[in-house]
């Protein structure tokens, strides 16, 4: 894809690089299963593989509808994927799409981002013995049982704390600030996460920030500083682990519909070694003094003038 950089070898935070970019730019009809589709994304390789449960309804399909996030965000390409799963209490319908990571060895701080738009969300009661309720799991990089992951929506049963989560290692945490339980349908959100000390001893911390379009533009207008991400995000969450987690394995995008229905469009998946690799940080331009002066002169020039001679 244009503007993508395939990276190999050792990468450190000192040299910014786009590690993964998947804009889902495929010549497919809407509704086509992503199972068996060969990835043409930067930082990914091989065919997408779809695993599903035997209960309920579940799928991950291509959509020609792409997600965008206004003129101040990065350009979008191609279409998107549509994840969907639903089932009754006692069922565990899920669909997980996997593809191999191919971004080389990465150490230090890494960032990721994606756009998501929910079409159904459930805070259903969890079946007896269940450890988690309906969820839309996105952007998981898994190596065995160890993973770096974002969760666009994690329901733990009827409560006020059903919202996005983040995981560093194996835990999924929705602790943190932000407004709980107010994820909206048919609204595009930007999800951004930062993972520290990846691939190094001692473990690290994951911080996730979820933005509405207005919040993102307000952050840009305030200068687009990394330190102020949490100020403008509608949801934040954090997770940590004290042992090494590598940037390796397979990327997985999934959905689970335990006792309810979960569905969403997912698009514009990015990983990088700098924040500017995964989002636009350019401040929203304000009218310059010169433009204001030209505007004033234009108004003055257009005024009716008195005749000096009659």
Instruction: Tell me 291's DSSP state.
Output: H
Of the pLDDT bands very low, low, confident and very high (cuts 50, 70, 90), residue 88 is confident
Contact 42, 5 (CB under 8 A): yes
**CA dist list (Å): 231 to 116, 134, 137, 248, 276:** 21, 28, 25, 32, 18
Give me the percent of the chain exceeding a pLDDT of 90: 48
More confident position, 34 or 281: 34
Is residue 179's pLDDT more than 80? no
What DSSP string describes 180-221? TT-PPBT-EEEEEEEEEEETSTT-EEEEEEEE-HHHHHHHHH
Structure tokens at 259: 């006792």
Is residue 115's pLDDT more than 90? yes
Residue 4 lies in a domain: no
The total of structural domains in the chain comes to 1
Residue 281 lies in a domain: yes
Give the CATH number, domain containing residue 121.
Answer: 2.60.120
Residue 218 lies in a domain: yes
Q: Which of 98-107, 253-262, 268-277 has the lowest mean pLDDT?
A: 253-262
Residue 104 lies in a domain: yes
Which domain, by its residues, includes 186?
A: 10-301
Residue 207 lies in a domain: yes
Residue 3 lies in a domain: no
Residue 79 lies in a domain: yes
Of the pLDDT bands very low, low, confident and very high (cuts 50, 70, 90), residue 201 is very high
Give the number of C-alpha atoms closer than 13 A to the C-alpha of residue 75, restricted to the C-beta side: 7
Mean pLDDT value across residues 74-90 = 89
Residue 307 lies in a domain: no
């Amino acid at each position: 894809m244009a503007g993508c950089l395939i990276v190999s070898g050792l990468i450190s935070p000192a040299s910014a690089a786009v590690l993964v970019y998947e804009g889902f730019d495929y010549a497919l009809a809407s509704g086509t299963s992503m199972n068996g589709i060969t990835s043409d994304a930067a930082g990914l390789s091989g065919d997408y593989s779809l695993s599903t449960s035997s209960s309920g309804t579940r799928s991950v399909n291509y959509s020609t509808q792409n997600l965008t996030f206004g003129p101040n965000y990065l350009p979008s390409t191609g279409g998107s994927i549509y994840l969907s799963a639903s089932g009754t209490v006692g069922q565990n319908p899920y669909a997980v799409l996997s593809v191999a990571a191919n971004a080389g060895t990465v150490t230090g701080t890494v960032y990721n981002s994606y756009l998501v738009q929910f079409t159904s969300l459930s805070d259903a009661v969890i079946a007896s013995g269940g450890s988690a309720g309906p969820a839309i799991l996105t952007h998981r990089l898994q190596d065995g049982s160890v993973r770096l992951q974002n969760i666009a929506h994690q329901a733990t049963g009827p409560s006020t704390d059903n919202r996005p989560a983040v995981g560093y290692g194996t835990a999924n945490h929705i602790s943190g600030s932000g407004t709980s339980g107010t994820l909206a349908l048919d609204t595009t959100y930007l999800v951004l996460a930062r993972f520290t000390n990846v691939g190094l001893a001692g473990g690290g911390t994951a911080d996730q920030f979820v933005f509405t379009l207005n919040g993102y533009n307000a952050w840009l207008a305030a200068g687009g500083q990394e330190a102020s991400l949490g100020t403008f995000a509608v949801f934040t969450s954090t997770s940590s682990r004290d042992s090494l987690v590598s940037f390796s394995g397979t990327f997985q995008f999934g959905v689970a519909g335990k006792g309810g229905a979960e569905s969403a469009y997912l698009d514009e998946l990015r990983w990088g070694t700098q924040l500017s690799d995964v989002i636009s940080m350019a401040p929203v331009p304000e009218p310059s003094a010169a433009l204001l002066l030209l505007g004033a002169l234009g108004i003055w020039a257009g005024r009716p003038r008195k005749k000096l001679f009659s």
